[in-house]
């Protein structure tokens, strides 16, 4: 039966109203304006950068203008992310922007107190210190200052930024002692300070509630023992401690880190004997690098259980001599293998061809 005219007309009006409301919601979202004081702060920050920019090549800040069609809406500027509801600037990504400037302690950047993500990686900040005022950005969860020519002491104030989940300070010129309290940030998932060869420090005692998933301090001056409590980092997937100055016994509690996919402790000065039984538990490993670590003892045949390995490097270690290399043939996913100067001898199993 055909619907009455009044019903069809009412349905038409309802659909028209719904479409109007949807369009209004979409329009409000796409035309969200940033806060005036934050727009002003971004322009102030740009002036401190562009004044010393050494290149006319593309800069993300080129779209940041005081006048023009989009000048009032800094939410539409390149590299800027705003909260949909409030218009506050919550993200700033100026990575790989060919910036060439110093970062001053009075920078307008530190007035953007709603920032949650800040990425200044792969620029040249001309050996600037990391200003302690960065701790004003208490809402930051992601901070990346890698490959940006920062220098000097890592500020202790970073340890007060309780919302940090990812901190990357790698490949700069930081020096002095790394503030140990940073390791204890309650939500820290990723910590990378690698490639800072004058940065000293040591590993703390880790508690069982630590959520760290990635820890990279390779190519630094970190030293001391690796604490047995590192086995408490049950969520750890990536551990990179190569080319540091760690010594003492290599803790078998590493075997508790059953989520590890990447383990590199090469070029340290351990004094561990035994049969490395902890290896057999790390069945998710894809990369294992124990080069030049002074490890000795037997390589357990159970290493054959690490069937996900694509990289295995055991060179320059005084392992016990063994004729049993049959485990090699079971690592069928290997793309890189280095056993030179590891005191192994015997026949290479034909199954290696697999």
- pLDDT (tens digit, 9 = 90+) per residue, 209-229? 999 999 999 999 999 999 999
Residue 333: both structure tokens together? 């996913």
**DSSP letters of 75-113?**
GGSTTEEE-TTT--EEEEE-TTS--B----TT-GGGG-T
Residue 61 located in a structural domain: yes
In the chain, beta strands by DSSP E: 80-82, 89-93, 117-119, 128-129, 142-144, 150-152, 166-168, 173-177, 190-192, 198-201, 214-216, 221-224, 238-240, 245-248, 262-264, 269-270, 287-289, 311-313, 336-338
pLDDT value at residue 243: 97
Pairing of β 214-216 and β 262-264 = unpaired
The shares of helix, strand and coil residues in the chain, as percent rounded to the nearest 5, are 25, 20, 55
pLDDT value at residue 56: 47
CATH number of the domain at 99, please: 3.80.10.10
Pairing of β 221-224 and β 198-201 = parallel
The answer to whether 104 and 79 have CB atoms below 8 angstroms apart is: no
Query: What is the overall mean pLDDT for the chain?
Result: 87
Starting from the edge strand earliest in sequence, which strands make up the sheet with 238-240, in order?
80-82, 89-93, 117-119, 142-144, 166-168, 190-192, 214-216, 238-240, 262-264, 287-289, 311-313, 336-338
**Residue showing tokens 């309290």:** 181
pLDDT at 68 over 70: no
Q: Domain count of the chain? A: 1
The answer to whether 300 and 323 have CB atoms below 8 angstroms apart is: no
% the chain with pLDDT above 90: 66
pLDDT at 174 over 90: no
- Residues 187-202 have a mean pLDDT of 97
Choose the weakest-confidence range: 50-59, 118-127, 214-223, 263-272. 50-59
**Cα 167 from Cα 244, distance rounded (Å):** 20
Residue 300 located in a structural domain: no
Residue 209: both structure tokens together? 């509630």
Residue 42: both structure tokens together? 């971004």
Residue 18: both structure tokens together? 């719904």
- Residues 257-276 have a mean pLDDT of 88
In terms of phi and psi (left: phi > 0; alpha: psi -120 to 50; beta: otherwise), the region of 247 is: beta
Tell me the three state secondary structure of residue 142: strand
Taking only the tens place, the pLDDT of each residue in 110-154 is: 999 999 999 999 999 999 999 999 999 999 999 999 999 999 999
| Cα end-to-end distance, the chain, whole Å | 72
The answer to whether 301 and 277 have CB atoms below 8 angstroms apart is: no
List Cβ neighbours of 291 (8 Å cut-off, separation of 6 or more): 242, 266, 267, 313, 314, 315, 316, 317, 338
pLDDT value at residue 214: 98
Q: In terms of residue numbers, what domain contains 87?
A: 32-126
- Model confidence at 100, in pLDDT bands (50, 70, 90)? confident
Residue 120 located in a structural domain: yes
Residue 341 located in a structural domain: no
Residue 110 located in a structural domain: yes
pLDDT value at residue 13: 47
pLDDT at 279 over 80: yes
The answer to whether 193 and 216 have CB atoms below 8 angstroms apart is: yes
- Phi and psi, residue 167, nearest 5°: -130, 115
**Cα 81 from Cα 224, distance rounded (Å):** 42
- Residues 148-169 have a mean pLDDT of 97
Query: Looking at per-residue confidence, does 176 or 4 come out higher?
Result: 176
Q: What's the gap between Cα 233 and its chain centre?
A: 16
Choose the weakest-confidence range: 7-16, 65-74, 123-132, 167-176. 7-16
Half-sphere exposure of 26 (CA within 13 A, CB side): 6
């Amino acid at each position: 039966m055909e619907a009455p005219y009044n019903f069809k007309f009412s349905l038409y009006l309802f659909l028209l109203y719904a479409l109007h409301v949807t369009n209004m919601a979409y329009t409000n979202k796409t035309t969200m304006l940033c806060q005036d004081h934050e727009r002003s702060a971004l322009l102030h920050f740009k002036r401190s950068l562009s004044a010393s920019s050494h290149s006319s090549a593309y800069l993300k800040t080129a779209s940041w203008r005081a006048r023009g069609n989009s000048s009032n809406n800094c939410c539409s500027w390149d590299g800027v992310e705003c909260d949909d509801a409030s218009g506050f600037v919550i993200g700033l990504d100026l990575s790989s922007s060919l910036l060439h400037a110093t970062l001053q302690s009075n920078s307008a950047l530190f007035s953007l107190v709603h920032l949650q993500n800040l990425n200044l990686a792969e620029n040249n900040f001309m050996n600037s210190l990391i200003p302690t005022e960065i701790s004003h950005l208490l809402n930051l969860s992601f901070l990346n200052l890698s490959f940006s020519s920062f220098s000097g002491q890592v500020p202790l104030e970073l340890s007060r930024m309780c919302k940090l989940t990812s901190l990357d300070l790698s490949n700069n010129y930081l020096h002095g002692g790394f503030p140990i309290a940073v390791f204890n940030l309650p939500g820290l998932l990723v910590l990378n300070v690698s490639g800072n060869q004058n940065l000293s420090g040591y590993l703390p005692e880790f508690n069982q509630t630590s959520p760290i998933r990635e820890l990279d301090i390779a190519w630094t001056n970190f030293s001391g023992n690796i604490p047995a409590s590192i086995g408490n980092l049950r969520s750890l997937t990536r551990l990179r401690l190569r080319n540091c100055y760690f010594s003492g016994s290599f803790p078998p509690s590493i075997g508790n880190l059953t989520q590890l996919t990447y383990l590199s402790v090469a070029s340290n000065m351990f004094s561990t004997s035994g049969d490395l039984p902890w290896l057999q538990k790390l069945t998710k490993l894809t990369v294992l690098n124990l080069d030049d670590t002074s490890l000795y003892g037997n390589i357990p045949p159970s290493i054959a259980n690490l069937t996900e390995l694509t990289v295995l490097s055991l060179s320059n270690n005084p392992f016990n001599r063994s004729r049993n290399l049959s485990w090699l043939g079971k690592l069928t996913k290997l793309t890189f293998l280095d056993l030179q100067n590891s005191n192994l001898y015997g026949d290479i199993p034909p199954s290696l061809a697999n």
